[in-house]
Amino acid sequence: MGMRPLFHPKVEDITVEGILHALSDPVRVAIYAGIVGQDCSHNCSTFLTVSDKTIPKSTLSQHFRALREAGLIRGERRGVEMHNTSRCPEVEQRFPGLLGAIVNAHTIQSKDEARAKRSGAKRPVRRPAKNT
Amino acid sequence: MGMRPLFHPKVEDITVEGILHALSDPVRVAIYAGIVGQDCSHNCSTFLTVSDKTIPKSTLSQHFRALREAGLIRGERRGVEMHNTSRCPEVEQRFPGLLGAIVNAHTIQSKDEARAKRSGAKRPVRRPAKNT
DNA sequence: TCAATAGTTCCGCAATAATGAACAATTGAA
DNA sequence: TTCAATTGTTCATTATTGCGGAACTATTGA
């Protein structure tokens, strides 16, 4: 079986559920934040490890697919590697303020976690870890 | 086994992932929107059907639990039934603008869907349905 | 032509989610 | 008190989704 062509939803087909689901995963937000951060491109292998955890490339591939199919990023094959860009403007047009609020919330949380870690507190994580 | 006491995370333990995950489910956003809408209370059985689909009560119970444990709502036993209130203010304090943006985005999407339905278009749903 | 590089797909197993059935808790009536 | 009705929860089973190793595809450069 060959590789199927990359699917990208049209702006009007992007759903809130899709976006929330895509960004409810720590690895995916990390990836997404990375892509949004440097608004230029970004290829996959930049994200081989997220928060001290090595993500297998097959898993990474799936995560990128999830982000793509949620309409959050646009992927383009550039020779042997991928060129990923954020679709922020489009999403912003459809759901104003949504992405900003999410990214912002994540920033807040990261700072909190950093502070908690420094003070040695072991905050219980609500969303149960998926595997060990 | 008796019924365990209802668990509610402290504000500072509420996570973005938790919130996004909780609200990435159509049934749960519907429930949550209902509770936020009439800012007074709301009991479970008001939500027996969501978008032409009857949700079994055991499933509903789990959904309420998910919302509770994500820190989105507060549940209180009032005799035989439940009294659910939104924890909006608290969440707003921790993640300003987040809930507003999500609810707003959902409103936009609902209107789009209604318009699409009127014009008879069958828009593909990106986030695949979980069952059937 | 072939090795190296970068991602993707396939597939088995693990983790999550849905839900019917049995159960628990509270209320009100007899 | 005792019991039926009501409301929600828990358990057990099944279905769905997600992870990740191994094999594969596609492209580039030597």
Say which CATH number the domain at A94 has: 1.10.10.10
**Nearest alpha carbon to residue A128 among B21, B62, B75, B4:** B21
Is A125 a member of any domain? Answer: no
Proportion of chain B in helix, strand, coil states, percent, rounded to 5: 50, 10, 35
- State the pLDDT at residue A41: 54
**Nearest alpha carbon to residue B27 among B55, B69, B65, B7:** B55
Q: Which residues, in sequence order, are bridge partners of residue B50?
A: B53
Q: What is the CA radius of gyration of chain B?
A: 16
A55 touches strand D (CB under 7 A): yes
Is B71 a member of any domain? Answer: yes
pLDDT at position A39 over 50: yes
- d(C-alpha A36, C-alpha A104), whole Å: 12
Q: Specify whether the CB–CB gap between A91 and A14 falls below 8 A.
A: yes
| Residue A84 per-residue DSSP state | E
In terms of residue numbers, what domain contains A95? Answer: 11-115
- The pLDDT tens digits for A76-132 are 999 899 999 999 999 999 999 999 999 999 999 999 888 887 886 555 444 443 332
- State the pLDDT at residue B51: 77
B2 CA, C20 C1': separation in Å?
A: 20
Is B47 a member of any domain? Answer: yes
- d(C-alpha B5, C-alpha B126), whole Å: 37
| Residue A49 per-residue DSSP state | E
Triad A48, A51, A53: Cα angle to 5°: 55
- State the pLDDT at residue B48: 73
Nucleotide nearest the Cα atom of B56 (by C1'): C19
- d(C-alpha B22, C-alpha B64), whole Å: 10
If one counts the domains in chain B, the total is: 1
A58 touches strand D (CB under 7 A): yes
- d(C-alpha B72, C-alpha B39), whole Å: 13
Is B120 a member of any domain? Answer: no
Q: Pick out residues 52-111 of chain A having their CB under 7 A from any atom of nucleic acid strand C.
A: 57-58, 60-62, 64-65, 75, 80-82
Q: Which residue of A has its CA nearest to B122?
A: A13
Is A120 a member of any domain? Answer: no
Alpha helices in chain A (DSSP H): 16-23, 26-37, 57-69, 88-94, 98-118
pLDDT at position B104 over 90: yes
Is B3 a member of any domain? Answer: no
- The pLDDT tens digits for A50-83 are 778 889 999 999 999 999 999 999 999 998 999 9
pLDDT grade, residue B23 (50/70/90)?
very high
Is A128 a member of any domain? Answer: no
Least confident of A3-17, B16-30, B52-66, B108-122: B108-122
3-state secondary structure of B81: strand
The distance from CA A114 to its chain's CA centroid, rounded to whole angstroms, is 20
Is A131 a member of any domain? Answer: no
Please state, as a whole number, how many other Cβ atoms lie within 10 Å of the Cβ of residue A50: 17
